[in-house]
Amino acid sequence: MKKPEFFSRSVLANALWGFRREFMVVGLFSFVSNLLMVVPTLYMLQVFDRVMISQSELTLISLTIIAFVLLGIMGFAEWVRSWLLVRLSVRLDEYLSTGVFQATFESVLNRTGTHVQSFGDLTGIRQFLTGPAIFAFFDAPWTIVYIGVLFILHPLLGFSAIVFCLLLAGVTWATHYYTHEPLEAALESSGQALGYVQAKSRHCEVVESLGMVENLRRRWREKQQRALGLNHQAQEWSHRLQEISKLVRYSQQSLIIAISSLLVIDGRLTPGAMVAANLLMSRTLAPIDMMVNTWRNFITARVSFLRLEKLLERGGRPSSLDDAVPERAELLVRGLTATASQRAKPILKHLNASFSPGEVVVVVGPSGSGKSTFARCLVGIWPERQGEVLLDGRDVEAWDRHLLGPRIGYLPQEIELFEGSIAENIARFGEVDPEQVVRAAKRAGIHEMVLRHPKGYDTQIGESGHLLSAGQRQRIGLARAMYGDPLLIVLDEPNAHLDDAGEGCLLRAVRELKAEGRLVVMISHRNNATAAADRILKLEGGLLVAEFRRQELAVAS
């Protein structure tokens, strides 16, 4: 199967189309299963119309054996199609999970979505493919076949089947008409309420210490109440229509017996055909009735499909098709403008600057001047920018991110560590090179601190590194930025949580990186950081207002 490119148009639809052969095989076994569904009907017909008249035990035994064999084949076909759909859903998950994982991160990075629903949507589609609703779609075409058999028994039975099918089809349409909008809105509102809780729980210490729990709970309750209201509206209509569907089915059973009885009394139908007609009518209406009862599953899967398809279509950004990596830390910024959808004015405005290998540049400026945004632009993770940020002659976003990542060191202002060991965090969760890990840790001044732990570099730091102090997290983040062989190191407020000893280690590490020909860009509020600087850039109001040497800092201030 030829795989479509991830993040191309209609990726999810193309992925499902790639499994069309598997769906055809499922359809084939559905054909066998539904064809053999008439076995109980035929068996009943033969028993009443032949065995009862002939009183032949041998005929009864033969018919029973044949029926059991055919029913065994039918059961095998049912099992195989269920097994195939389970395998198909697993393969679909394996096929799409990498793309969903990447698109989720890109979506959050680009501020076009959240991570709350993406894998839940993929799970929902997978469960739909293995649930009863999908079988209703495979079985629905056989309604026509069963109606044809009823016409063969007697035209009045066939017309009765058509009337009941139309009634149930009307119930199905009404179910969709009255429930799909409130149900889709309820699913969206539930996702928003869940996302709200998850976002606030990440800052539970602040929420608890400042007594904000009750205030946030009220806001969450408003979102949850809206979701519950919409869900109640959809459920109320769904239950009403299910009761109507049940009434139609019960009426069908009674009415078909009455019609069959009249035909038997008139001599136009045998007693065996009467029983068979009742069984066939039940099989005729079963797929439509299943659609009514599982319509919620269909709506949920549809919402998941559309949301996941939208995520995959917008989630990725193009990267280089070659395997080239930057060789020189030549960085050129031309006409850089950074914007944000929630801000009327640009954050950065037409910045121009150049940086050379072996240079240490410190970016200073008041809070809100765009320094952190500038740092994000330099490493290619700010989504809304215009202009050029060229690393070794190519736009930083045009490099293959998987190949570019090891050549860049980045320390964000808010340190994010991950569940795992200290060594794994420093090594960026790739293959751990002990020598490189220790080297980066020594540069960051944490080697002795790490060795004081009983398990050393294998010490588990917990989710987000919550078992460490802010200063320790910052040093581990600094070691991670310097791990490997980065050409460009961008440090955003690297000394915010460091004591004097930590700041001394930072300045020594920066000088070592400079001596090795690395390009170091530091964002800082502290004047101490300028001790190792070759140049200082001053931002103010998103503009580059000054550029001077370290010796001129006092004059510029």
Widest pairwise Cα distance in the chain: 118
Number of domains in the chain: 3
CA atoms within 13 A on the CB side of 399: 24
Rounded distance, CA 230 to CA 202, Å? 28
Over the stretch 163-222, which tens digit does the pLDDT of each residue have? 888 888 888 788 777 777 777 777 777 777 777 776 666 666 666 666 777 777 787 788
**Is residue 283 located within the same domain as residue 335?**
no
Whole-number average pLDDT of the chain = 80
Quick one: pLDDT at residue 69?
Answer: 92
**Is residue 451 located within the same domain as residue 536?**
yes
| Cβ 296 vs Cβ 176: under 8 Å | no
Domain contains 136: no
- Is the pLDDT reported for residue 532 higher than 70? yes
β-sheet with 348-355: strand ranges across: 348-355, 331-338, 385-391, 394-395
Rounded distance, CA 177 to CA 343, Å? 40
Rounded distance, CA 164 to CA 229, Å? 33
Domain contains 497: yes
- Average pLDDT, stretch 23-28? 86
Quick one: pLDDT at residue 508?
Answer: 87
**Is residue 76 located within the same domain as residue 223?**
no
Angle between helices 132-139 and 118-130 (to 10 degrees): 50
**Is residue 126 located within the same domain as residue 147?**
no
Over the stretch 80-131, which tens digit does the pLDDT of each residue have? 888 888 888 888 877 777 777 777 766 666 655 555 567 777 777 887 887 7
| Cβ 237 vs Cβ 178: under 8 Å | yes
Highest mean pLDDT among 186-200, 275-289, 349-363: 349-363
End-to-end CA gap in the chain: 64
Quick one: pLDDT at residue 148?
Answer: 86
Quick one: pLDDT at residue 198?
Answer: 66
Quick one: pLDDT at residue 488?
Answer: 92
- Is the pLDDT reported for residue 370 higher than 80? yes
SS3 call for 412: coil
For tokens 């519950």, what's the residue?
228
Quick one: pLDDT at residue 205?
Answer: 60
DSSP 8-state code for residue 236: H
Quick one: pLDDT at residue 152?
Answer: 86
**Is residue 202 located within the same domain as residue 68?**
no
What's the CATH number where 187 sits? 1.20.1560.10
Q: What is the pTM of this model?
A: 0.64
Domain holding 308, by residue range, is: 1-131+302-317
Q: What tokens does 332 get?
A: 């050129």
- 3-class DSSP string for 474-542: HHHHHHHHHCCCCCEEEEECCCCCCCHHHHHHHHHHHHHHHHCCCEEEEECCCHHHHHHCCEEEEEECC
- Is the pLDDT reported for residue 7 higher than 70? no
**Is residue 308 located within the same domain as residue 229?**
no
| Cβ 457 vs Cβ 485: under 8 Å | no
Last residue of a domain, one of 268, 284, 317: 317
Domain contains 222: yes
- Is the pLDDT reported for residue 1 higher than 50? no
- Average pLDDT, stretch 393-409? 85
| Cβ 106 vs Cβ 315: under 8 Å | yes
What's the residue count for the chain? 557
CA angle 413, 468, 402 (to 5 degrees): 50
- Is the pLDDT reported for residue 353 higher than 60? yes
Domain contains 137: no
**Is residue 415 located within the same domain as residue 494?**
yes
What's the CATH number where 510 sits? 3.40.50.300
**Is residue 359 located within the same domain as residue 248?**
no
Domain contains 323: no
**Is residue 117 located within the same domain as residue 167?**
no
Question: Which ranges constitute the DSSP H helices of 266-337?
Answer: 271-293, 295-315
pLDDT band at 438 (very low <50, low <70, confident <90, very high): very high
Please, what's the b/e burial string for 42-71 (b: 16 or more CB within 10 A of its CB; e: otherwise)? bbbbbbbbebeeeeeeeebeebeeebeebe
Domain contains 183: yes
| Cβ 292 vs Cβ 172: under 8 Å | yes
**Is residue 278 located within the same domain as residue 307?**
no
SS3 call for 456: helix
**Is residue 86 located within the same domain as residue 118?**
yes
**Is residue 220 located within the same domain as residue 348?**
no
Rounded distance, CA 374 to CA 377, Å? 5
